[in-house]
Chains A and B, each alone.
Chain A
Amino acid sequence: MVGAVSRLRAAADAAAVVAASGAAIALLAAGYDRPGPAAAVLLAAAVAAVAVTAGAARVLPRLGPAFALLAGLPVAFAGLVALAARRPGPVREPVPAALDAVLHSGARILTTTSQAPLTVDLIAFPLLAVWLAGATGTALRRDGRGLPALLPGALLLAGAATLNPEAVGAGYRSAALLAVAGAVLLVLSPPERPAAAPAGITVRVLAGGFRPAPRRSASRRAAAGAVLACAVAVPSFGMVVAAPGVLDDWPVRAADPRTVVDSPEEPREVRNPLAYLSAWAAEPNRPLMTVRGPRTGLRWVALAEFTGPTWLPDSTYRPSGPALPPPGVRPPRAKRASVEVAVRDLPGDWVPVPGTPTRIEGLDFGYDAASGTALSSKGPVAGRTYRATGSVPDLSGGEASRATPALGPGFERYARLPQGAPARLIDIARKAAGDGTPHQRASRLAEYLRESYTIGPAARGGHGYAELNELLVEPGRKGGGGTSEQFASAFAVLARAAGLPSRIMVGFGPGTGGDGGRVVRTGDAVAWGEICYEGLGWVPYDPNPRVRSGAAERAGTGEGASGGPGPGGGARTPAPPRAVAAHSRPGTPVWPVAGLAVAAVLPLYLVAVPLLRWRRLRRMRRMRDCARKALTAWTEVLVAMRLAGVPAPPAATASEVTAHLERSIPGTDAARLQRTARIVNAAGFGGPVTSQDASLAVTEARSLIRELRRSRPWWRRASWWWDPRPLRWSAQSSRLTRRVQTGSAWATRSTSTTATTVRQ
């Protein structure tokens, strides 16, 4: 029976260590495009780490925990080799691929989008981290340490949270799992800590597994464990179920470390996409691609860097798996659109996608999260077929009407105009934009361009200051023709001159055709301007004049108010200001968050603090070393004195402390106090301490603690066992004790701090 209980206990213990070390798995797996398989791989690593380390420690216990840790590493590497055979990275041969993964995994994770593909080089680092967490946790646990066994898992969880700050829900699940594992480990922890050896290394010999607890205490331990487990599990469950829903919109997010890492750049010889528009406008019927799926426009390239002569596209593209990270700002009422694109003759490497892409299959590509554009990593997209899914926002609700332009840190470059701007540009911008909200001003700019000019397919190309000066500045070509690239550029430049953050987007209309596929032609290509708003992201504005011209007509045809990424989806849609301030997302109320936090922490606090303090007293009573027992009892007395507001003076010796107690607590037995002082002095300074002495010291300590508590006002008495400070004071005392044991404390601490840890 005892053996079965012991085995069951060991199994529960191992499962708790697996749970602790694998708590971060949900969070880590959220960073992959296929979280399920990634979680399975990491979970297998956690289980194997615990099993291998425990096995190694059991087979060769004399070699110590370091050997057990090292013994598992070859197994972990073998696992990587097996994984490399199925999911290789850039290197194809399994063993070199595993080696390559070990060496480069960290760097590649940081230079890949958060939804990374599940390849060996992108999962090796998390896998080894999980393995080490499991192995270290097992070694600590076998060393008799309960809560420290949680530390590797907690550190891993912190690292995973840093790596995937957007995976809020997974983070709560991971934290809850870690809390539950901690509760289990706490309940299953042995009653007595191992004694610390002078060298600072603890050794614990457990013959035949864990020592069964005394029968008489089993019920109490079970009750305490059940209470603690409930206290942890209930709020943890609440966190898992409720917190993601409540906190998902929490405005505070940790920064993604990938954003501060420069990804390797591969220079590409590509033409500026705007330059194609003029040529395509002159030859509007050349097919570029065939699109199957819902009727929606496609976004191609974003250009945010204006140099004066030209607009440049963003160039920070990170390798990505099929799944793409969610956008930093979630546009309102976004609809999912998935299209299959067969590219015929599209130049360049940019990948046309519907709206903000969330998934691209059938193509190796890099992704620039800032602009939401994708770039084929295997050269031009011509001749390729892929499926792209994106979220297309519906801005017809007037969300932009009261939105504030995004001009904070990171957005300055979108409002910057290089030197050389035509002198009258500011005047034109001011006159055209007028007064009003940012959205009204941007809309007037677009309207000014739309109504004052016409599309001239035969007009000369170019979109720099010179062309804009010719187009905009009086007498200019007002009433005459321009190209889409020029109107988009004019809108963006005027917007910046008016203080609005802007960029140019190049894309395509939905094309023409039936269910068999729509053909997108060169005449469907169009450029438009976008303004960035707080909480809304980039809102499109169509500055292209409405004339019977191929590009403009197609771009506007059929898009209506809910059109997609193209100009029809935004520039024409922004409705007159309405009462609904849609841009101000329902603010996250603070009280549910605070209430949730209190609900999660309070039960844990109410149960954990008395339990931990009770554990200390229980440990004191069960100590076998008489001197340590007496000294621990004395420490508890000093802690209680401090808690009771009668701290022992730092310069007081044990005898003087007892005299202080005698004065503080009327009616105490002076002889017993002196006897206690003599026992603890003997215990601390080299005298003999019998078990009877130790028991007497413990009895006296408990009596004194009781009396000290009674001496306090009722409300202090009521909160006595819930005051967490004694845990810290005791821990400080323990640390000091260990330092003294290693002979370092008295040599290093200053006079002013000597012996004050517990007393004050």
Chain B
Amino acid sequence: MSTTAASPTMAGTATDEEAVLAADTFDRMAAAIESAARCAPATVRLVLTAFATGGHVLLEDLPGMGKTTLARALAAVTGGTSRRVQCTPDLLPSDITGVTIFNERSREFEFHPGPVFANVVIVDEINRTSPKTQSALLEVMQEEQVTVDGTPHPVPRPFLVAATQNPVEMEGTFPLPEAQLDRFLMRLTLGYPGEEAELALMRGGSLTAPGDLSPVLDAAEAARLGEIAGRVSVAEPVYEYALRLAQRTRRHPGLRAGVSMRATIALCRAARMHALADGRAYVTPDDVKALVPPVWGHRLVPLSGPAGADEAAELLDGVLAEVPAPGPHENPR
């Protein structure tokens, strides 16, 4: 992700003006996406938070809930390109990363990029493809580059993988390994829209097609958002709070493994962006609490097996209820 040269003002913490401008950008993006996808505003905010943080999103819901539409709308408002991969059991890694082909005319090998070379990559039903193909996504999700025949090929930035999976129909699927789940910043469920929204959907015509959405920000602005988020201040008690929560998951009697250090780092990064999206240059425990379920839910390993979204949410609600949150009066300046 490209970064802007730091000005003297950037050396310190983010200013309130920067936070307000960033929140305005978030508001405009959210409004645009909500005009194309009937999703809960909180979900849209979380998707935008993940995008601005540079994380990837696993959308877990039933078919027909608007997962793909949401991903396409996100691609549209961010002014980038979007590609879609429909995963099947016979999908090969080269089908998504790209291949090197010998050009008879130029007598040279040429790289033909796969669908991952886009700003927003929609990987539909990721659990239907083979583990080999799933693992091909590991490098690109972590390193933001693809290595084919020994040659690295960076993907465009910003880069977001929005994978979807159906939690119900598990026959013939390949559940994602924990290492790969850990690569996703958030796991989200869209849920059913409200009655009014569903009626509007049935009537048709009230939604904007994702392709018709105008970009709200470009790549440079997206990078700027990330840079400002890096300067959002996090008070020591908030860090400590996140640590206590993580420690609680690691000692939880119902969990085989708690969250990793990568998970706590991801939580803090996302909390900064979440605060910025709210127009604040400081993180509060509310940001942490709002992000714990989506950021940590898919990383928990219960004793009974992989945690579904509901089970994870229940476990984490218990953890959040047990660990005291730092009060503002306990951290005076």
Q: Which of B237, B238, B283, B289 contacts A740 (CB 8 A)?
A: B237
The answer to whether A737 touches B325, judged by C-beta atoms less than 8 angstroms apart, is no
Complex interface: chain A residues within 8 A of B286 (CB): 653-656, 681
The smallest beta-carbon distance between B263 and chain A, in angstroms, is: 18
Complex CA gap A751/B331 in Å reads 16
Complex interface: chain B residues within 8 A of A754 (CB): 244, 323-324, 326
The answer to whether B236 touches A746, judged by C-beta atoms less than 8 angstroms apart, is yes
Complex CA gap A743/B333 in Å reads 12
The answer to whether A746 touches B240, judged by C-beta atoms less than 8 angstroms apart, is yes
The answer to whether A751 touches B325, judged by C-beta atoms less than 8 angstroms apart, is no
The answer to whether B333 touches A627, judged by C-beta atoms less than 8 angstroms apart, is yes
Complex interface: chain B residues within 8 A of A688 (CB): 16
The answer to whether B328 touches A631, judged by C-beta atoms less than 8 angstroms apart, is yes
CB of A28 closer than 8 Å to a CB of B: no
Q: Which of A686, A737, A740, A759 contacts B282 (CB 8 A)?
A: A686
Interface set, chain A 651-665, CB cutoff 8 A to B: 651-656
CB of A20 closer than 8 Å to a CB of B: no
The smallest beta-carbon distance between A688 and chain B, in angstroms, is: 6
B305-333 Cβ-contact flags toward A at 8 Å (1 or 0): 00000000000000011111111111111
Pick the most buried of A628, A653, A656, A683: most chain B CB atoms within 10 A of its CB.
A653
The smallest beta-carbon distance between B179 and chain A, in angstroms, is: 29
CB of A27 closer than 8 Å to a CB of B: no
**Quick one: given A684-B331, A733-B329, are A756 and B235 in contact (CB under 8 Å)?**
no
CB of A469 closer than 8 Å to a CB of B: no
Complex interface: chain B residues within 8 A of A627 (CB): 332-333
Pick the most buried of B236, B238, B332: most chain A CB atoms within 10 A of its CB.
B332
CB of A715 closer than 8 Å to a CB of B: no
A672-709 Cβ-contact flags toward B at 8 Å (1 or 0): 00000000111111111000000000000000000000
Complex CA gap A755/B238 in Å reads 12
Q: Which of B247, B281, B329 contacts A634 (CB 8 A)?
A: B329
| CB-defined A-B contacts under 8 Å, sample of 20 | A632-B329, A634-B328, A634-B329, A651-B322, A651-B324, A654-B327, A656-B325, A680-B329, A681-B286, A684-B332, A685-B284, A687-B280, A733-B329, A737-B330, A737-B332, A740-B330, A745-B330, A746-B237, A751-B324, A754-B244
Complex interface: chain B residues within 8 A of A655 (CB): 284, 286
The answer to whether B13 touches A755, judged by C-beta atoms less than 8 angstroms apart, is no
Closest residue on chain B to residue A739 by CB atoms:
B330
The smallest beta-carbon distance between B6 and chain A, in angstroms, is: 20
Complex CA gap A226/B145 in Å reads 79
CB of B233 closer than 8 Å to a CB of A: yes
Interface residues, chain B, CB within 8 Å of chain A?
13, 16, 233, 235-238, 240, 244, 247-248, 280-286, 289, 320-333
Complex interface: chain B residues within 8 A of A225 (CB): none
CB of A148 closer than 8 Å to a CB of B: no
The answer to whether B282 touches A638, judged by C-beta atoms less than 8 angstroms apart, is no
The answer to whether A683 touches B327, judged by C-beta atoms less than 8 angstroms apart, is no
A interface residue count range (under 10 / 10 to 19 / 20 to 34 / 35 or more): 35 or more
The smallest beta-carbon distance between A714 and chain B, in angstroms, is: 30
Interface residues, chain A, CB within 8 Å of chain B?
627-628, 631-632, 634-635, 638, 649-656, 680-688, 733, 736-737, 740-741, 743, 745-746, 751, 754-756, 758-759
Closest residue on chain B to residue A648 by CB atoms:
B327
Complex interface: chain B residues within 8 A of A743 (CB): 236
Complex interface: chain A residues within 8 A of B327 (CB): 634, 638, 653-654, 684, 755, 758-759
The answer to whether A683 touches B323, judged by C-beta atoms less than 8 angstroms apart, is no
- Known A733-B329, A740-B330, A756-B324; further 14 A-B contacts with Cβ < 8 A: A631-B328, A631-B332, A634-B329, A638-B327, A654-B284, A682-B280, A684-B329, A686-B233, A686-B281, A687-B282, A746-B326, A751-B324, A754-B323, A755-B326
The smallest beta-carbon distance between A751 and chain B, in angstroms, is: 5
**Quick one: given A634-B329, A638-B329, are A651 and B320 in contact (CB under 8 Å)?**
yes
The smallest beta-carbon distance between B94 and chain A, in angstroms, is: 48
**Quick one: given A651-B323, A740-B237, A756-B324, are A686 and B333 in contact (CB under 8 Å)?**
yes
Complex interface: chain B residues within 8 A of A653 (CB): 284-286, 289, 325, 327
Q: Which of A632, A638, A651, A758 contacts B321 (CB 8 A)?
A: A651
The answer to whether A685 touches B238, judged by C-beta atoms less than 8 angstroms apart, is yes
Closest residue on chain A to residue B236 by CB atoms:
A746
Complex interface: chain A residues within 8 A of B328 (CB): 631, 634, 654, 680-681, 683-685
Complex CA gap A654/B236 in Å reads 17
Closest residue on chain B to residue A733 by CB atoms:
B329
Complex CA gap A685/B324 in Å reads 16
Complex interface: chain B residues within 8 A of A656 (CB): 286, 325
Complex interface: chain B residues within 8 A of A649 (CB): 321
Pick the most buried of B286, B289, B324: most chain A CB atoms within 10 A of its CB.
B324
Complex CA gap A743/B238 in Å reads 14
Complex interface: chain A residues within 8 A of B324 (CB): 650-651, 751, 754-756, 759
Complex CA gap A631/B237 in Å reads 15
The smallest beta-carbon distance between B88 and chain A, in angstroms, is: 45
Complex CA gap A651/B329 in Å reads 14
The answer to whether A758 touches B236, judged by C-beta atoms less than 8 angstroms apart, is no
The answer to whether A685 touches B330, judged by C-beta atoms less than 8 angstroms apart, is no
Complex interface: chain A residues within 8 A of B236 (CB): 743, 746
Complex CA gap A652/B323 in Å reads 9
Q: Which of B244, B285, B321 contacts A751 (CB 8 A)?
A: B244
The answer to whether B330 touches A684, judged by C-beta atoms less than 8 angstroms apart, is yes
**Quick one: given A686-B13, A687-B281, are A635 and B329 in contact (CB under 8 Å)?**
yes
Closest residue on chain B to residue A631 by CB atoms:
B329
Complex interface: chain B residues within 8 A of A756 (CB): 324
**Quick one: given A682-B282, A687-B281, A751-B323, are A758 and B329 in contact (CB under 8 Å)?**
yes
Closest residue on chain A to residue B289 by CB atoms:
A653
The smallest beta-carbon distance between B114 and chain A, in angstroms, is: 44
Complex CA gap A655/B330 in Å reads 15
**Quick one: given A627-B333, A631-B332, A651-B320, are A755 and B283 in contact (CB under 8 Å)?**
no
Complex CA gap A688/B17 in Å reads 11
The smallest beta-carbon distance between A79 and chain B, in angstroms, is: 45
Complex CA gap A652/B247 in Å reads 18
The answer to whether B244 touches A737, judged by C-beta atoms less than 8 angstroms apart, is no
The answer to whether A685 touches B240, judged by C-beta atoms less than 8 angstroms apart, is no
The smallest beta-carbon distance between A633 and chain B, in angstroms, is: 9
Closest residue on chain A to residue B333 by CB atoms:
A627
Complex CA gap A651/B240 in Å reads 14
Closest residue on chain B to residue A738 by CB atoms:
B332
Complex CA gap A687/B325 in Å reads 18
The answer to whether B281 touches A628, judged by C-beta atoms less than 8 angstroms apart, is no
Complex CA gap A737/B285 in Å reads 17
Complex CA gap A540/B240 in Å reads 77
Complex CA gap A737/B327 in Å reads 11
Complex interface: chain A residues within 8 A of B235 (CB): 684-686
Closest residue on chain B to residue A760 by CB atoms:
B324
Closest residue on chain B to residue A736 by CB atoms:
B330
Closest residue on chain B to residue A754 by CB atoms:
B324
Complex interface: chain A residues within 8 A of B16 (CB): 687-688
The smallest beta-carbon distance between B291 and chain A, in angstroms, is: 13
The smallest beta-carbon distance between A256 and chain B, in angstroms, is: 47
Complex CA gap A756/B329 in Å reads 12
The answer to whether B325 touches A685, judged by C-beta atoms less than 8 angstroms apart, is no
Complex CA gap A311/B320 in Å reads 79
Complex interface: chain A residues within 8 A of B248 (CB): 751
Q: Which 9 interchain pairs have the tightest Cβ spacing? A: A684-B328, A650-B324, A686-B282, A755-B324, A754-B324, A653-B285, A686-B233, A680-B328, A631-B329
Complex CA gap A745/B285 in Å reads 17
The answer to whether B320 touches A740, judged by C-beta atoms less than 8 angstroms apart, is no
Complex interface: chain A residues within 8 A of B329 (CB): 631-632, 634-635, 638, 680, 684, 733, 737, 758
The smallest beta-carbon distance between A677 and chain B, in angstroms, is: 8
Complex CA gap A745/B282 in Å reads 21
Complex CA gap A634/B325 in Å reads 15
The answer to whether A683 touches B332, judged by C-beta atoms less than 8 angstroms apart, is yes
The smallest beta-carbon distance between A747 and chain B, in angstroms, is: 9
The answer to whether B331 touches A685, judged by C-beta atoms less than 8 angstroms apart, is yes
Complex interface: chain B residues within 8 A of A680 (CB): 328-329
